[in-house]
Amino acid sequence: MSLSLSAGGAPRASSTSLSATDRTRRPIVTGTSILGIKYSNGVMLASDTLCSYGSMAKYKNAERLISVNSKTLIGGGGEYSDFQSITQLLKRNALEDLCTADSLYEDEMDGNGEEDARQIWNYLRAVMYNRRNKMNPLWNDLVIAGFGSGGDGEAGGECFLGLVDKIGTTYEDDYIATGFGSYLALPILREKWSVDLSEGEARALLEDCMRVLFYRDCRALNRIQIAKVTKEDGVLISDPYELETEWKSASFVEPKGELEGDGGW
């Protein structure tokens, strides 16, 4: 309870003493894995569209791949409201960059008025670390994909794929998986990834990983989105679609615990 001094010097309780500072102590509505992979022409991300309320699969149309600008894509797992707050912050920054650029017309800017993927990755590292130090973290693992700027500041640099977690830890790699994907999908990516993957091969690899996550992760869904960033087309995000699944594998149908039937009572 906060105290203030009255005119006579006697302490008295402040009228606002009962107000409390809210903290996100644990995530409530959460999304699961985000997968990212570099391929020959750009970078590709994948996620499902499920947000779970605790253990309940509540929201099945939550899009977790967001375009920040024409050359940067971000995917987020963890608390969905925190992810919405981060995307709103990034879009405000992008709007400010556009309004303070030499021209208000995007086709005349040549990408000079936009932050590239590496700059946004570094900015989010500072944001997440700052919130962690305030003991009020944003409960997200973020995957940032896109292209950096060339040596002269113009668009057209190398493709970029990096991760920022909720305490500000960062790294970049040729393939990235968050959540349960770091256990179930990352071994598949390590085995099958190569530098010269075509776009079709990269998409098929991500779909295989998302299918495995649907089988093995109880917070995953077979309704997914795929997004890519290329120099020619910029950011493209697919509409949600459902993966074809197969449940006739022997490991799915054989009795467990040597019990007859389905193992129920």
Which amino acid belongs to residue 173? D
Within 13 Å of residue 102, how many CA atoms lie on the same side as its CB? Answer: 6
Question: Closest Cα partner for 207 from 243, 161, 245, 249?
Answer: 243
CB atoms within 10 A of CB 125: 19
Which residues are known to be catalytic? 24
Take residue 224 and report the two structure tokens written for it. Answer: 């997914």
User: E strands along 18-122, which residues?
Assistant: 29-31, 34-39, 42-48, 51-53, 56-59, 65-69, 72-79
Question: Closest Cα partner for 193 from 208, 180, 178, 183?
Answer: 208
Q: Could you give the C-alpha distances from 97 to 64, 75, 230, in angstroms and in order? A: 24, 21, 21
Question: Closest Cα partner for 228 from 34, 43, 33, 41?
Answer: 43
What distance in Å separates the CA atoms of residue 46 and residue 66, rounded to the nearest whole number? Answer: 11
DSSP three-state, residue 203: helix
What distance in Å separates the CA atoms of residue 142 and residue 160, rounded to the nearest whole number? Answer: 14
Structure-token match 């950096």, residue found: 148
* Angle between helices 117-133 and 80-99 in degrees, nearest 10: 130
